[in-house]
Chains A and B, each alone.
Chain A
């Protein structure tokens, strides 16, 4: 379908964007890559009065290493993350996850900030950001603030972004020497939304896992950290007993809903399968 009519602005400076957001409130939507927004406008799931195109705003499309932090601008595309040597070297979870996002033509346009602001529960970047304990940098007319990824995703398509705020960058801590990252997804077809996915991170030294992060996507209304399973693996060798204990703990962590194709029990099973694969890879 075609979207309903809207006004369009393409400001050249961030302060103009923030002024437009303040003036139009909920009636304004930010347009970056548009790969989720335009699909929802086309289907008339939303009908904003004005789109504010941030395509011409400088300073939103860089990937830069500063000390222990890798900062990625909000308008950096999925494809640029997929191809970045800095990302592959310092935050490999993102490099592993990127190829799972939709298809090439969509990854060429869709952006990191757009995906986070959309907060689709089956999307890859929100789960990665929570697993990496990333910091989301947000700007408004009042200034900047930083939000921990774990506090950012509130509910289905709902974030901690307040009125007049936009994401400008995301900050990731560089992986340490003994840190391992694994991203896994189960899908019916390549590029579809995950039925179940898992962003996993841990340190592995002296044959033991520590600082384990397991964050699932596609099993709830937002990225779901599997806290009991994480605790079950903490300090343990990555052996069969530890995996069994963590899989059993998953039942209290996750309560997936059935969708059109997959029952809740099947999703629980898939989550256990991914957990075993992730632990094997983290200790591999």
Chain B
């Protein structure tokens, strides 16, 4: 019953091989086994989006994915995407538009917003709302988050990075 399964996962560009208890969520594996505490745990049943990570390039719920299911896959977290600079423009916009207060939802917001930016570069405000609907924030009332994402979509990239 408690048999551990060996899995090899490429996390933020680094291959890691570990023996993992099958019931361990991907989010707990990242946080507790690898010390990547940027992605957060909140509702643990897929409602809030705080645990959003990327698996093979697509955003996923880290609490609705078993770590063993990621065997052979590529996982990216807010740490890796911050270090690579991929989120820099979005992070700057979140800062400038006051799109966070306590920050608990922010890593999940950033990953979902970045997926939106890649997929729908011309998204309207309403489409932004819809795309972001799976990420809950209890501080901001969402307006500032939508503002930040809209800012990124409407501003040419080189102006944002000046």
A residues with a Cβ closer than 8 A to B are 1-8, 10, 31, 34-35, 38-39, 41-43, 49, 51, 53, 55, 79, 99, 102-106, 108-109, 189-191
Given contacts A42-B64, A105-B52, A106-B46, 16 further A-B contacts (CB under 8 A): A2-B44, A7-B1, A8-B66, A31-B66, A34-B64, A35-B61, A35-B64, A51-B22, A53-B68, A55-B69, A103-B49, A104-B59, A104-B115, A104-B131, A109-B60, A190-B133
Q: Are A7 and B133 in contact (CB under 8 A)?
A: no
**Distance from A1 Cβ to chain B, minimum over Cβ atoms (Å):** 6
Cβ-closest 9 pairs across A and B: A103-B134, A8-B22, A190-B133, A39-B45, A108-B58, A105-B59, A38-B64, A3-B23, A191-B133
Contacts of A104 in B (CB 8 A): 59, 112, 115, 131, 134
Q: Are B1 and A49 in contact (CB under 8 A)?
A: yes
| Interfacial residues of chain B within 45-66, with CB under 8 A of chain A in the complex | 45-46, 49, 52, 58-61, 63-66
Contacts of A2 in B (CB 8 A): 23, 25, 28, 44
**Distance from B68 Cβ to chain A, minimum over Cβ atoms (Å):** 6
Contacts of B3 in A (CB 8 A): 7
User: What are 10 contact pairs spanning A and B, CB under 8 A?
Assistant: A5-B21, A38-B65, A39-B64, A42-B45, A53-B68, A103-B134, A105-B60, A105-B61, A109-B65, A191-B134
Max chain A CB contacts within 10 Å: which of B5, B44, B52, B69?
B69
A42 to B63, CA, bound (A): 9
Check if B130 is an interface residue, CB within 8 A of chain A.
Answer: yes
Q: Are B69 and A53 in contact (CB under 8 A)?
A: yes
Check if B2 is an interface residue, CB within 8 A of chain A.
Answer: yes
**Distance from B134 Cβ to chain A, minimum over Cβ atoms (Å):** 2
Q: Are B134 and A5 in contact (CB under 8 A)?
A: no
Q: Are A8 and B5 in contact (CB under 8 A)?
A: yes
A103 to B45, CA, bound (A): 13
Q: Are A105 and B112 in contact (CB under 8 A)?
A: yes
Contacts of A189 in B (CB 8 A): 133
Contacts of B129 in A (CB 8 A): 190
Contacts of B49 in A (CB 8 A): 103, 105
**Distance from B31 Cβ to chain A, minimum over Cβ atoms (Å):** 13
A102 to B131, CA, bound (A): 11
**Distance from A206 Cβ to chain B, minimum over Cβ atoms (Å):** 37
**Distance from B69 Cβ to chain A, minimum over Cβ atoms (Å):** 6
A102 to B61, CA, bound (A): 12
Q: Are A7 and B44 in contact (CB under 8 A)?
A: no
Max chain B CB contacts within 10 Å: which of A41, A109, A189, A190?
A109
Contacts of B1 in A (CB 8 A): 5-7, 49
Contacts of B115 in A (CB 8 A): 104
A127 to B52, CA, bound (A): 29
Contacts of A1 in B (CB 8 A): 44
Q: Are B60 and A103 in contact (CB under 8 A)?
A: no
A61 to B143, CA, bound (A): 38
Contacts of B112 in A (CB 8 A): 104-105
**Distance from B63 Cβ to chain A, minimum over Cβ atoms (Å):** 7
A10 to B22, CA, bound (A): 11
Contact with A along B59-82 (1 / 0, CB 8 A): 111011110110100000000000
Q: Are B68 and A10 in contact (CB under 8 A)?
A: yes
* Given A42-B44, A103-B49, A105-B112: A5 touches B23 (CB 8 Å cut-off): yes
Q: Are B61 and A106 in contact (CB under 8 A)?
A: yes
**Distance from A253 Cβ to chain B, minimum over Cβ atoms (Å):** 31
